[in-house]
Amino acid sequence: MTDTVLGSCAIEFRNKEPARELIEEAGFQFLYSPGKAPWPDDETREKLAGFAAIIAGGENFTPRTMELAENLKIIARNGVGYDSVQLDACTERGIVVTNTPGAMADAVADHAMALLLATVRNIVPGDQSVKSGNYSVEISEDLCSMTLGLFGCGHIGAEVVRRARGFKMRVLVHDPYIDPEKLEEIGAVPVSRQKILAESDVISLHLPMSDENAEFVNADFLATMKPGSYLINTARGKLIDEKALIDALSSEHLAGAGLDCQATEPPVGTSLELVQMPRVVAMPHSASSTTTARERMSIVAAESIVDCLQGRIPKFVVNRQVLEQLDLT
């Protein structure tokens, strides 16, 4: 019986479907099942039944949603983050989980710089001023006179460094998992948490979402930031204590924030209050929403599926403990 692959993400780009082609050329069937993205838990539970693999969006993969997925061998996340996947539950069931690091790095780095420019150069209020007939905007600052601080410097962070250096910004990075020499090679200065908070005019977050990183940006973090500085987030909304950020913006300790993501999406409650603030530029979690990035992501996800179903170890396995249970080479 031929294994069948399920897709929850859009896979057509420029009138082509490279992910489907890869999967079908390898001898597997592919079914794209569009619907509300991400699927609600009940829908995920029902749709997974009988499938061997899935190119997954932001669906929740829990013991309950995987209850009927007796044939599921791999969850190929169409993205970098995997906070919606319970890795322990997948490992226990022998399900490989992969992601697509690097595939969206350029797109997200561009977006981070766009948010940085929009906040620092008052792009949104300037646009509103022109359209309303006022024709004025607050004075801003040259990027070359500013210091950018990054928390986290993987594929995306490294691309942000390269772009910021193109604007002649001084770039500081705090990432204990990256070799300091590698950071220096791309033009960044590895520093302590205390130094990056004290000296950065703009701080940009490039961290994975985890229990440990939940509300990484809290009241103490914000209070330690340089007065009049900016916060950029293109990672995950729950990295930020949003009530604390509202307070920091209301008191004008922070000059502004550029937020691609929120703790609740679409925003409600505190998240909605935050994005409606005049000094916040908000986007609908769309940093990777470019044709090139999405095409790259789908191809990497499809390659992971083909490798797994053909008995090979995929390149980007997240729960590597599962490999001990499987006969992959």
User: Do 28 and 63 share a structural domain?
Assistant: yes
Out of 162, 265, 273, 279, pick the active-site residue: 265
The answer to whether residue 199 is catalytic is: no
User: Do 137 and 173 share a structural domain?
Assistant: yes
The answer to whether residue 67 is catalytic is: no
Alpha-carbon gap, residue 305 to 52, rounded angstroms = 9
User: Do 260 and 128 share a structural domain?
Assistant: yes
Out of 236, 242, 294, 303, pick the active-site residue: 236
First to last CA, the chain: 22
Is there a cis peptide before residue 278, judged by omega within 30 degrees of 0? Answer: no
DSSP helix/strand/coil, 202: strand
User: Do 242 and 186 share a structural domain?
Assistant: yes
Q: What pLDDT sits at residue 113?
A: 98
For residue 271, which of 311, 293, 226, 238 has the smallest C-alpha distance? Answer: 238
User: Do 110 and 33 share a structural domain?
Assistant: no
Query: Using an 8 Å Cβ cutoff, are 314 and 97 in contact?
Result: no
Alpha-carbon gap, residue 258 to 146, rounded angstroms = 16
Q: What pLDDT sits at residue 2?
A: 75
Query: Using an 8 Å Cβ cutoff, are 32 and 22 in contact?
Result: no
Alpha-carbon gap, residue 272 to 155, rounded angstroms = 30
The answer to whether residue 265 is catalytic is: yes
Instruction: Give a three-class secondary structure readout of 313-325.
Output: CCCCECCHHHHHC
User: Do 189 and 132 share a structural domain?
Assistant: yes
User: Do 12 and 141 share a structural domain?
Assistant: no
Q: What pLDDT sits at residue 77?
A: 96
Domain extent, residue 39, equals 4-103+290-324
Q: What is the largest distance, in Å, between two alpha-carbon atoms of the chain?
A: 68
**Four-CA torsion 102, 294, 2, 37, nearest 10 degrees:** 120
User: Do 158 and 16 share a structural domain?
Assistant: no
Going from the C-alpha of 132 to that of each of 119, 127, 137, 172, 278, the distances in angstroms are 20, 9, 12, 39, 16
- What's the CATH number where 242 sits? 3.40.50.720
Does 204 reside within a domain? yes
The total of structural domains in the chain comes to 2
Handedness of CA 83, 88, 90, 95 (dihedral sign): positive
For residue 151, which of 97, 104, 209, 103 has the smallest C-alpha distance? Answer: 209
For residue 282, which of 79, 82, 111 has the smallest C-alpha distance? Answer: 111
Degrees, nearest 5: CA angle 160-163-164 = 85
Does 226 reside within a domain? yes
Tens-of-pLDDT digits for all 329 residues of the chain? 479 999 998 888 988 999 999 999 999 999 998 877 789 999 999 999 999 999 999 999 999 999 999 999 999 999 999 999 999 999 999 999 999 999 999 999 999 999 999 999 999 999 999 999 999 999 999 999 999 999 999 999 999 999 999 999 999 999 999 999 999 999 999 999 999 999 999 999 999 999 999 999 999 999 999 999 999 999 999 999 999 999 999 999 999 999 999 999 999 999 999 999 999 999 999 999 999 999 999 999 999 999 999 999 999 999 999 998 887 76
State CA 179 to chain mean position distance: 22
User: Do 150 and 68 share a structural domain?
Assistant: no
User: Do 264 and 126 share a structural domain?
Assistant: yes
Does 329 reside within a domain? no
User: Do 119 and 99 share a structural domain?
Assistant: no
